[in-house]
Homo-oligomer: A and B are copies of this chain.
Amino acid sequence: MSKQGRGTDSEGEACCQGVASAPLGEEQAADLAKAFKALGDPVRLRLLSMIASRDGGEVCVCELTPAFELSQPTISHHLKLLRQAGLIDCERRGTWVYYWALPAALNRLAAFLRSAEPAGVGA
């Protein structure tokens, strides 16, 4: 539970230019694939959106678990994967654990996808 800066946005790693800019090296592909794989599950997507759409920016696990018809260990597992992917982070505060999204990571992925066809080329 690292409790990092909660990045407003810009973080180092200008990184890859976007899907339509260059053929993408093996390392960058492996790095991005980890993040996208974490997004490739409906439960994790819903968890992430529940966390990211929260006004205070934080959500207690005790609010996330009952929102799904899944066991508590399963939700905990998905939260762990999202955290390992660098998309969210968490902190224990007394009895409860709070999660928040890391916008820098999400914007990095968005920037990678966005650069597809800036203007109009085909047709």
Contact = CB atoms under 8 A, between A and B. Distances in A.
Interface of A: 5-9, 19-24, 26, 29-30, 32-34, 36-46, 48-50, 52-53, 57, 67, 100-101, 103, 106-107, 109-114, 116-117, 119-123
Contact of A32 (B19, B26, B33, B45): B45
Nearest to A37: B40
A98 to B, nearest CB: 12
B8 A24 contact: no
B100 A107 contact: no
What is the count of identical protomers in the complex? 2
5 contacts: A19-B45, A29-B42, A29-B43, A30-B42, A106-B113
A41 B36 CA distance: 8
B24 A33 contact: no
A24 B36 contact: no
A23 B113 contact: no
Contacts of A37: 36-37, 39-41
A106 B44 CA distance: 20
A105 to B, nearest CB: 9
Given A36-B36, A100-B122, A22 B8 contact: no
